Structure 1
């Protein structure tokens, strides 16, 4: 379990970039390429470095093509299918540098690039290795985004270790404690909230002691495909979790010190794409 390298963008005391006041949880790639899932003829993967570098992970193709204006038109026609993506096209006569990227490359990004590869093949494009002077550029922007403040400081945005095919996972983590007698009912209520808020992954670690329970909850989603990207309104989700304080003697945070840190688990309540989220085998 780790906090995302780009947590500065998601810090609970600042703002995060969202789409329609929601964010995307789930499986992504940043540091490594999704081996065995995608194979590209033209595009190369440039990993993110995180930390102070804070750079995007990028997919980039440097090609020459006989009729670049035709290819650019095809790219412009393709882009509305993948309106969350940006696409940069740098041009020098028949030479093009085509790139896209993000801090979280979801399956949707790689599917976008797969479609661009098809267009490059149809255009009889050829890879080139030498740099060229950019004479003009065309930028296809993603749909408008808004900035939303995470209102609930008991929530953390966390990453993961590497999973299947080098995948990582964005999750919401919530630590809390309450009398053990209420644990099962609390978990059942959280399952209902997950269903209401478009969350399909829910697992936790626990430690029961002296009729009390420390709990570390994780909420996420699976792989994010074209036309099936799942947006989660983090503040709506957090508000519903906060309301559970009125129903149970619930306190956020871990009680009793490291001796009672919740290490028992993962206990899985809801899961999809398990191999990309948990190393349980």
Structure 2
């Protein structure tokens, strides 16, 4: 085997990243020797770059890596799960647009076939995420395909966001409309007709604000604690989310809860 060529700093970093991704892809497949695969990859690279001016740039290395394929391509097809085999077959094509068409097609069909709409939307969501993940693994830009993949993702994520915003409001409104609500709870009655005096309305509003503040305090702390999980759930739109964002939400929620709680305490 010829001596390994000299790389620029960026090229060396990209090669290490590619080899790490190959090992990560092979980890669930003990039947494949990752060391042998790495040697084979390096051999291909050395053969491709033989006689090239050194140090080899990242751009030149990327050309070789593109021909070698995605790190997941080094996993024997027989070892792949059935769902991934299906995705790989569906995605093969001149420009790999098939998954994009399938995702958007399922999403559009969900608006036509109402009885099975939830199932179609969820299927479209899964196909969109899988399609984008395959493109990322191959190092290919989504380009115009993102407009086919994004609609079901945006729809699902918006539904989750709306539920997160509406839930505390719905709970407080439900409490206000509950006839069994104790009459001595800050003077609030379950029957709306009895909420005529200003203190009662003000107390009801402050109680709603208090509940919402506590809710967003919990959301913020959860986001700060589970930032990686949040990025994974809302991928690819939440990749820049950091722990500090959750802490800021928690701080705002705590401030709202403290102010409304103090006001309620003064009124009681």
Q: TM-score range by the shorter chain?
A: under 0.3
What is the TM-score when the length of structure 2 is the normalising length? Answer: 0.23
Point out which structure has higher relative CO (alpha carbons under 8 A, 6+ apart). 1
TM-score by length of 1: 0.22
Higher helix share: 2
